[in-house]
Amino acid sequence: MVKSVLSSAIKEYLLAFADDEHLMGQQHTEWIGIAPFLEEDMAFASIGQDELGHASMLYALILEGSSEVDAFIFNRKPEEWRSCQLVESNHQNWEEALMRHWCYDMAEDLRWELFRESSLPELVLISERALKEEKYHRQHADALVENLLKVSTSKSRLMKALEGIVPEVLELFSSIPGETEAISSGLVSGKYCDKLPTWRSRVENRFGVLDQKLFATSDHQARTKRHLDFAPLYGRIREVFLLDPKAVW
Amino acid sequence: MNLEILASVQDIHLAIEKVNDPEYPGISIVDLGLLENIKLNEIGEVVIQLIPTFSGCPALQMIAQDVREIIEKLPGVKKVDVVWLNSPVWSVNRVTAKAEKDLAEKFTVAVQIQGRKVKCPRCQSETTIKSHFGPSRCRSIHVCSGCNEVIETLRD
């Protein structure tokens, strides 16, 4: 691995993606054993595992070959995380978890696409691998949602969940620290928020035209403020690590 | 002159063939297409480059440890590094015919080779896909049209 090529701004930029992937993976895996049916139980386990894998590749890149990856991830204070509200919030109802999966994965490939011609060769390789895995995530989410939308009671529950999640997705796209330098250095090919119209058209192709008010931009913090649900989540993800911080997994 | 006997790249390759996938005892990681490259220098330092089936595979540490332990025992080997590469990306097309046969016979697991239909390992009938996600990250679920068995299928 190339040593110290990444500026602190670029590391912040990559950290935002890594933390999103990490917490999204964690949230998915929490459905193991309690998803409404077996196929979803297994799908959420596998999809969550992929997101955790993507996170670990990004963390490894940020830490430039250091072996202290776990210590770096789990010893950070809440204010040092750069995750977005969408992955921190606690969506306890199944329809909300499914809609978050759909919304997040319909946004994730658009984010990896920005790295396809990255000035950092390792990032090009990571994005190729991730994009291959993400194709299955979108297929899975969309096939299930398509079927559920045919049932009126399911449809109304999904639409209600979607309306709650869209504002969180806007924040996912809008506020990435270090983005200006990531673009000027050629790390990424453009601003993530420029992909928002693509995401919105995917949403409206599947769910129909949504109320314009849902897409009104609000004032977003640059991922420095944690969601109210972060604290208990932070406790759960550190629980096992703190039992034996030196353990190799 | 250094008269110490040093294992060859071929010896190392043969030793790695003895390392099995933790999920499929008896099936070599080499036959599953995980070995990419072996580097050996004249003072006995070995670098083994492997590729993971999936980035989030939880067995990576275990496999790396198994490889290290078996190579460290070879004559003249001073140091072993096992490195997981991000490229090339693993695909089922790296699985050898031998592993495909063993997976079918010992585990009734099919392999979804690109451009080929997934056949039932029990009765050779055609199958239909039930779910892309199965009991582990690298397996999907198919159902056999002949014997109605549920078939786990190794996939990309």
Contact B132 A139 (CB under 8 A): yes
Which residue spans of chain B are classified as CATH 3.30.300.130?
9-84
What is the distance between the alpha carbons of residues A24 and A51, in angstroms, rounded to a whole number? Answer: 7
Q: Find where tokens 């014997």 sit.
A: B147
The whole-number pLDDT of residue A2 equals: 44
Do A98 and A144 touch, CB atoms closer than 8 A? yes
What is the distance between the alpha carbons of residues A130 and A134, in angstroms, rounded to a whole number? Answer: 6
Element (H, E) at B111: strand B109-111
Element (H, E) at A95: helix A94-113
Which among A107, A108, A116, A110 has a CA at the least distance from the CA of A189?
A116
Structure-token pair, residue A224:
């420095």
Contact A56 B56 (CB under 8 A): yes
What is the distance between the alpha carbons of residues A70 and A75, in angstroms, rounded to a whole number? Answer: 8
Contacts of A8 (CB under 8 A, 6+ apart): A178
The sheet that has B79-84: what strands, in order across it? B35-40, B45-50, B79-84
The whole-number pLDDT of residue A1 equals: 44
B58–chain A Cβ distance below 8 A for any pair: yes
How confident is the model over B81-98, as a mean pLDDT?
93
A147–chain B Cβ distance below 8 A for any pair: no
Residues of A in contact with B57 (CB under 8 A): 49, 53
Of all residues in chain A, the one with the smallest CA distance to B59 is: A249
Burial class (CB in 10 A: 0-12, 13-18, 19+), B42: exposed
Residues of B in contact with A122 (CB under 8 A): 86
The whole-number pLDDT of residue B3 equals: 58
What is the distance between the alpha carbons of residues B120 and B131, in angstroms, rounded to a whole number? Answer: 16
Domains of chain A, start order: 8-243 (1.20.1260.10)
The whole-number pLDDT of residue B98 equals: 96
Contact A49 B56 (CB under 8 A): yes
Contacts of A44 (CB under 8 A, 6+ apart): A28, A29, A31, A32, A35, A97, A101
Residues of B in contact with A140 (CB under 8 A): 132-133
Contact B58 A56 (CB under 8 A): no
Contact B55 A140 (CB under 8 A): no
Q: Apex CA A213: angle with CA A210 and CA A217, to 5°?
A: 115
CATH number of B9-84: 3.30.300.130
Does residue B84 sit in helix, strand or coil? strand
Do B44 and B79 touch, CB atoms closer than 8 A? yes
The whole-number pLDDT of residue A218 equals: 67
The whole-number pLDDT of residue A67 equals: 74
Do A212 and A204 touch, CB atoms closer than 8 A? no
What is the distance between the alpha carbons of residues A122 and A57, in angstroms, rounded to a whole number? Answer: 10
Distance from CA of B126 to the nearest CA of A (A): 22
Q: Find where tokens 């935002």 sit.
A: A16
How confident is the model over B78-87, as a mean pLDDT?
93
Which among B18, B25, B22, B17 has a CA at the least distance from the CA of B103?
B25
Contact A126 B137 (CB under 8 A): no
Of all residues in chain B, the one with the smallest CA distance to A55 is: B56
What is the distance between the alpha carbons of residues A189 and A204, in angstroms, rounded to a whole number? Answer: 26
What is the distance between the alpha carbons of residues B142 and B109, in angstroms, rounded to a whole number? Answer: 10
pLDDT beneath 50: ranges in chain A: 1-3
Report the amino acid identity of residue A86. L
The whole-number pLDDT of residue A74 equals: 92
Contact B56 A136 (CB under 8 A): no
Q: End-to-end distance of chain B based on CA atoms, in angstroms?
A: 49
> ipTM of the assembly?
0.78
The phi-psi region of residue A51 (left if phi > 0; otherwise alpha if psi is between -120 and 50; otherwise beta) is alpha
Q: Give yes or no for residue B2 having a pLDDT over 70.
A: no
The whole-number pLDDT of residue A249 equals: 67
Handedness of CA A167, A170, A174, A176 (dihedral sign): positive
* Most A-contacting residue of B53, B55, B65, B154 (CB-CB within 10 A), to test interface: B55
Element (H, E) at A122: helix A121-148
Provide φ and ψ at A34, rounded to 5°: -125, 5
Residues of B in contact with A45 (CB under 8 A): 133
Contact B87 A140 (CB under 8 A): no
Q: End-to-end distance of chain A based on CA atoms, in angstroms?
A: 22
Residues of A in contact with B132 (CB under 8 A): 43, 136, 139-140
Q: Apex CA B27: angle with CA B98 and CA B21, to 5°?
A: 140
Of all residues in chain B, the one with the smallest CA distance to A129 is: B89
Task: Give the whole-number percent of chain B exceeding pLDDT 70.
Answer: 98
Residues of A in contact with B87 (CB under 8 A): 125, 128-129
Contacts of A217 (CB under 8 A, 6+ apart): A170, A174
How confident is the model over B57-77, as a mean pLDDT?
94
How many CB atoms sit inside 10 A of residue A126's CB?
A: 22
Contact A248 B55 (CB under 8 A): no
What is the distance between the alpha carbons of residues B127 and B134, in angstroms, rounded to a whole number? Answer: 15
Does residue A92 sit in helix, strand or coil? coil
Report the amino acid identity of residue B70. I
Contact B133 A53 (CB under 8 A): no
B122–chain A Cβ distance below 8 A for any pair: no
Contact A47 B56 (CB under 8 A): no
For chain A, positions 151-210, list CB contacts with chain B under 8 A. Answer: none
